[in-house]
Homo-oligomer: A and B are copies of this chain.
């Protein structure tokens, strides 16, 4: 019997999670919930997703738009084993009482504080910690990206100190009201919240993060500087480890993916849906090893990178897979990230 999943909030993350759920053999989509009609609601119905609406939403707006409504959020929750809360930042925390009252499990996103859930989650980082939990928080896109890299490096070579500069995209592609249009805005509080957030996954990691915002919509780019405990033999050893790890896409020089515009073009041509690049993107040429000091860039697609983690979180909560590797492989095959 498949686990029944409801998706509350059908925006950037919610629509991708819904798409991912319907592709999994062991999950079933109960429906998605929105607060007002738009072309996305139409698409949900076109794809056969039952459309629920917030209690406060205007039903007549939906019917005027010719959109069939299956019920309220509460009704949707009533039919689910687990809710993925993909509502805007801070709304998830407000929704928690609703989920608790309904006795339904919940997956929250990284825009919520860690305290919203029993455990913060990253599939490569701490899959086992989410096993059997009732409330799990998938960490944010940037924290997910960093955690994956840590999961590769820490067990192999050890980490004496990990510094990241996060060059953040200012808005998602469809957010037309956010800026800046021309300028760089530093996040003056150092460390940025990302470092402590990574420590919800790797509590002992000596990490420091600094962030700034730049006028692009495509991807974040991280500059990593890592002082290792033991150096790999060469850059190649590190690159080989990344290539052998799920959810990393390493670009070779001949591929000519010069920057995030080309990475997104790769994504558009690959066609997983929505231009998605759920993997950490690393450029082979952009890795440098000096003794125990390693530098590398990675690009993170803020819209999709946490989507497979939401699936794995559910699988961990309901113990649907024997271990992280199995869950990740199931997820990634279903999403088309790997073959066979």
Please report the C-alpha to C-alpha distance between residue A37 and residue B268 in the assembled complex, in whole angstroms.
18
The answer for the CA separation of A254 and B299 in the assembled complex, in Å, is 34
Q: Is the CB of B273 within 8 A of A275?
A: no
- Knowing A181-B179, A186-B297, A255-B42, say if A269 contacts B274 (CB, 8 Å): yes
Interface presence of A65 (CB below 8 A): yes
A174 within 8 A of B: yes
The proximity string for A residues 248-281 relative to B, scoring 1 for CB distances below 8 Å and 0 otherwise, is: 0001101111111110111011110111000000
The answer, yes or no, to whether A56 is at the interface (CB within 8 Å) is no
Q: Which residue of B lies closest to A174 (CB)?
A: B265
Closest 4 A-B residue pairs measured CB to CB? A185-B259, A183-B261, A190-B288, A174-B265
Do A188 and B285 contact each other (CB < 8 Å), given the known contacts A61-B254, A167-B167? Answer: yes
With A177-B178, A214-B167, A266-B39 as known contacts, state yes or no: A188 contacts B254, CB within 8 Å: no
In whole Å, how far is A64's beta carbon from the nearest beta carbon of chain B? 7
For the complex with contacts A40-B265, A184-B299, 14 further pairs of A-B residues with Cβ separation under 8 Å are A39-B256, A165-B165, A165-B210, A167-B184, A171-B179, A174-B265, A178-B179, A179-B179, A181-B181, A185-B260, A186-B259, A188-B286, A188-B297, A213-B259
Chain B neighbourhood of A176, CB < 8 A: 179-180, 183, 185, 258-259, 261-262
Residues on B with beta carbons closer than 8 Å to the beta carbon of A290? 208
Contacts of A252 in B (CB 8 A): 65
**Residues of A within 8 A of B (CB-CB), count:** 78
CB contacts under 8 Å to B, within A13-62, are 15, 37-40, 42-43, 61
Residues in chain B near residue A269, CB distance under 8 A: 15, 39-40, 43, 274
Q: From A174, A217, A255, A273, name the one whose CB has the most chain B CB atoms within 10 angstroms.
A: A174
Residue of chain B at shortest CB distance from A285? B188
Q: What residues on B are CB-neighbors of A169 within 8 Å?
A: 184
